[in-house]
Amino acid sequence: MRWWGWGEDGHAVPLPPAAERMLRDELGVDSAARRPPVGLEQVSVRDSRLPPVVRERLAAAVGAEHVRDGREDRIAHAVGRSYPDLVRIRSGDASSAPDAVVLPASAEQVAALLAVCAEQRVAVTPFGGGTSVVGGVEPLRDGMTAAISLDLRRLDTTVGVDRTSLTARLDAGLFGPEAERRLGAEGVTLGHFPQSFEYSTVGGWVATRSAGQASTGYGRIDELVEGLRCITPVGELATRALPASAAGPSLRELIVGSEGVLGVICEATVRVRPAPSARRYEGWSFRSFAEGCAALRVMEQSDGAADVCRLSDEDETRLAMALTSTGSRSERRGRRYLRLRGHERGCLAITGFEGDEEDVERRRRHTSALLRAGGGISLGRRPGEAWLHSRYAGPYLRDELLDRGVMVETLETATTWVNLESLHDAVTSALRGALGQRGTPPLVMCHVSHLYPSGASLYFTFLARQEDDGLAQWRAAKTAASEAIVAGGGTITHHHAVGRDHRPWIRAEVGQLGIELIRAAKERLDPAGIMNPGKLLP
């Protein structure tokens, strides 16, 4: 990816006039102003502090060409892609850059590297695609001699598919598109499509308990993992790839979501499905967010949920319409139709079905009946196909907004159905209050995107005019929203993980004894404390 943002050069997402008007009228953003990132030559990087003797030993383990301490390599691994990460790197601050980037090609090389780093007190931060939005891949030294970024992109060889058992053994360094391409060649799919899909890896998904956009149908990554191979500083911790076991507490569950603080996930065996021969995505409208949530609950609890189920609240629907507005006659007719049906300020929902033709049609008919009974109006296939086409566009759009001096950040949670609306309102109010007090009133948007019989997730996006001190502004908003989530009975993170940003609230999630239990596992597996210091544990 670009060192200062998302994707590669030439992938800009321009803002249509309707969206520019929203920024100007609601946030006070000057559409002519620009805050581009500094040039690469202006980025400040500290000299590498990796001792020469350690560099030589690392090179002996992986090959000299795979130990990289050049300026550009280090900048590219300095931060992830959270809002504070981007604010810092765009301003030229790469002070967190690792002292070297090391690229092993096997689990055995990973073991050799960790042995050297543990002996020499060198911090190790596993790095997949670098897409963490919670500070999970920033190399912190935490009192160590030096810090390296352990880039796993060379662990990308194995894709072993068992068509009979419908499982696949995948190397951790495989990026999403390549994993799906190679699975597709065997006639199967993992079905895991997070918004970061283009630039995230199998190992990163497992390490952070990722949820894909189709997780309502396919399952979260923690539901899909059957076996793991994790290299720790004291040895290999592996779990057998079995459909189920009653042999004590699950070590698999200990590794999934461990965020690199226990060891390096090198391989995962996952459940796959036959690749779909048919896909159908549709749009629906509901009069209100509350009405839509009630309809989704009935649908999920009636075993009628689509593979993709998303419901935007009123403000997110407004922005979505502004971003896709063409001003065409058919668009005006559609809006007039919704106004006559009492849906003028309604909420957009997207449903998506994948499978064979007969299965897709059967499930679609069942779901449609439930949604209509809940007050929904079918909008046909065009909104669903438009969403499918732009499903990975959000991070690109964020770069455009940052260029215009807009603070744009996301956060997510999950809670029970009975608590969903009150938590939505509490977080929205907390963000409006925290940023409004600073003189930068925000546009706060939310959607439901992952359904369970007992509840659902809430995914918030908020925009505000960026202050000169963007990090202080972000901290105020993040703290207010996180406190509201904890007080309101939500999880501090549904699928972004803990990283650095959520550490202050992890104790409220698992309790003090839970913290001590995780810490005990870390002390046993990583006695020198080299693995991804400063993450997950308070």
For 393, other C-beta atoms within 10 Å of its C-beta total: 16
For residue 428, give Cα distances in angstroms to 31, 83, 254, 423, 495.
25, 19, 33, 8, 19
Residue 299 · residue 370 · CB < 8 Å: yes
Q: What percent of the chain has pLDDT over 70?
A: 99
Q: For residue 282, what pLDDT is reported?
A: 97
pLDDT, tens only, 339-354: 778 788 899 999 999 9
**Which parts of 391-442 are beta strand (E)?**
406-416
Amino acid at 75: I
Q: What is the pLDDT of residue 333?
A: 78
Please provide residue 302's backbone torsions phi and psi, each rounded to the nearest 5 degrees.
-95, 10
User: What's the predicted TM-score (pTM) here?
Assistant: 0.95
Residues 6 or more apart in contact with residue 339 via CB below 8 angstroms: none
Phi-psi category of residue 452: left, alpha or beta, with phi > 0 → left and psi -120 to 50 → alpha: beta
Instruction: Give backbone dihedrals phi and psi of 65, rounded to 5 degrees, phi first.
Output: -70, -10
**Region of residue 16 (left: phi > 0; alpha: psi -120 to 50; beta: else):** beta
Mean pLDDT confidence for 491-512: 97
Report pLDDT for 12: 73
Phi then psi for residue 332, to 5 deg, are: -65, -40
Average pLDDT, the chain: 95
What pLDDT score was predicted for residue 94? 97
Question: Could you give the residue ranges of the DSSP H alpha helices within 200-270?
Answer: 202-208, 215-218, 221-224, 251-255
pLDDT digits (tens, 9 = 90+) for 267-284: 999 999 999 999 999 999
pLDDT digits (tens, 9 = 90+) for 319-337: 888 877 666 777 777 777 7
Check if the beta carbon of residue 370 is closer than 8 Å to that of residue 286. no
Distance separating alpha carbons of residues 264 and 267, to the nearest angstrom? 9
Show the tokens assigned to 219.
């399952």
Q: How far is the C-alpha of 455 from the C-alpha of 485, rounded, in Å?
A: 15
- Average pLDDT value for residue range 303-323: 92
Least confident of 6-20, 153-167, 183-197, 432-446: 6-20
Q: In this predicted model, what pLDDT tens digit does every residue of 388-418 receive, in sequence order?
A: 999 999 999 999 999 999 999 999 999 999 9
Give the separation between CA 109 and CA 62, rounded to whole angstroms.
Answer: 6
Partners of residue 67 on adjacent β-strands: 102
Query: Residue 327: its pLDDT value, please?
Result: 65
Query: Can you list the positions of beta strands (E) in 417-454?
Result: 443-448, 451-452
Residue 466, both tokens: 């960026």
The residue-averaged pLDDT of 59-84 equals: 97
Instruction: Give the pLDDT score at 216.
Output: 96
Tell me, what DSSP letter sits at residue 27? I
Q: Mind listing the pLDDT tens digit for each residue in 158-208?
A: 889 999 999 999 999 999 999 999 999 999 999 999 999 999 999 999 999
Residue 108 has pLDDT above 90, yes or no: yes
